[in-house]
A and B are shown apart, each in its own frame.
Chain A
């Protein structure tokens, strides 16, 4: 049971804008940065968004992140077929001694 809640799946057509939500609590998203990772089948995840809204070099500006309270969102604009992948959100949780938490992952299908 993942600590952060994501929709299991989202879909869109090429060119569309889709968003993936990530819901947490005051001890994680409400108090810390959110990170997003993209994973293709059979490969290791790749960093997509760091510190809630920043893109590493090489990540297209079609990808953007935002947060509001205890929730975060990943937006993908100008959807492309190669964006079809699994997406995970993550955040540090301050409770207990501190630990990382992930969302359950969202499968993006490009129709």
Chain B
């Protein structure tokens, strides 16, 4: 069974750096065609893709957030980590960790973790 679980702080102060960890099981990130993405959703608003870590260690970022994001993996722990610098209240929302399968679909989603940016 494929599962992903997000973890990280529920509250972050403005200008601080957010670090979110995605712990996954049931698949290998080294499998051809597989990747893990981070997607966020502000309260009452649309989904927004942030970043992706591919099976071959290639990374992709949202152009509008690229300068603030870093995505990495810890193979030994089956984890993908997202760092977002200079947090602002507009970054408040639910952050999802999602697997992309070899058909390019976001096929398995984590439950999401709510992050509030406030002082």
Partner-B contacts on A (CB < 8 A): 2, 33, 35, 37, 44-47, 50-51, 56, 88, 90, 92, 96-105
Contact = CB atoms under 8 A, between A and B. Distances in A.
Contacts, number: 58
Nearest to B49: A100
B63 interface: yes
A90 B106 contact: yes
Nearest to A88: B47
A46 B111 CA distance: 11
Contacts of B37: 100
Given A97-B60, A98-B60, A35 B104 contact: yes
B90 interface: no
A47 B112 contact: no
A97 B63 CA distance: 8
Interface of B: 37, 45-49, 52, 60-63, 96, 103-107, 109-112
Contact of A44 (B46, B48, B60, B110): B110
Contact of A102 (B47, B60, B110): B47
A45 B109 contact: yes
A88 B107 CA distance: 14
B52 to A, nearest CB: 7
Contact of A37 (B45, B62, B104, B106): B106
A102 B39 CA distance: 10
Contacts of B63: 96-97, 99
Contact of B109 (A44, A90, A100, A101): A44
Given A47-B105, A56-B107, A92-B104, A99 B62 contact: yes
A2 B37 CA distance: 18
A46 B46 contact: no
